[in-house]
Amino acid sequence: MAEEVVDVRPAEVADAAQLLALLAQLGRESNTFTVDEGIEDLSETDEQAQIERINGTTTNIIFVATLDSRLIGVSTVQASTDFSAAQGEVGVAVLKEFWGMGLGTALIEEVLDWARNYSSLERLVLTVQLRNVRAVKLYQHLGFENCTATSYDVVDPTGKRVPAIDMGIWV
């Protein structure tokens, strides 16, 4: 039997329907991953246009992890409007059945490579819930450092307030 290989690559317009379904499933499976409001109202055509628009920038990207033709994880960078155009906010999530297999690391490594070699960004930032200890350790291992002196509360997808920190890395 052939060994199955996971591929991490930039999202393509043809991924739109599967990407919307993946994001919806991730939003249901995890209390540490928040899906943007209104995503359930996006059509496949809307998502195709969004992917095309994102792929035309040097400040935004979507990577997908695929197993055969199935999308099983995603990482994103979105240019931050809160601070400066030289900073991007990172998001990453993997389907629960694939946790602990190194996919989060692979997705973040792709983001870091893209940011360093292809983007016009100078810094990547993210918010991580402190209860997600594995994620905090992963980000630290990859060079992210705390940006906030103390934790602060965020609201998780279930409406519960949980402590979180911001982390960042210069690229």
> What's the CA angle centered on 129, arms 50 and 57, to 5 degrees?
25
Q: Which domain holds residue 13?
A: 6-170
Q: 19 in a domain, yes or no?
A: yes
pLDDT digits (tens, 9 = 90+) for 67-101: 999 999 999 999 987 656 699 999 999 999 999 99
Q: 41 in a domain, yes or no?
A: yes
Q: How far is it, in rounded angstroms, from Cα 77 to Cα 65?
A: 15
Q: 137 in a domain, yes or no?
A: yes
CATH number of the domain that residue 135 is part of: 3.40.630.30
Rounded to the nearest integer, the mean pLDDT of the chain is: 92
- The answer to whether the Cα torsion of 147, 151, 153, 156 is positive or negative is positive
Q: 1 in a domain, yes or no?
A: no
**Counted domains in the chain:** 1
pLDDT computed for residue 34 by the predictor: 76
Q: Which portions of the chain are predicted below pLDDT 70?
A: 1-3, 82-85
pLDDT computed for residue 15 by the predictor: 98
Q: 82 in a domain, yes or no?
A: yes
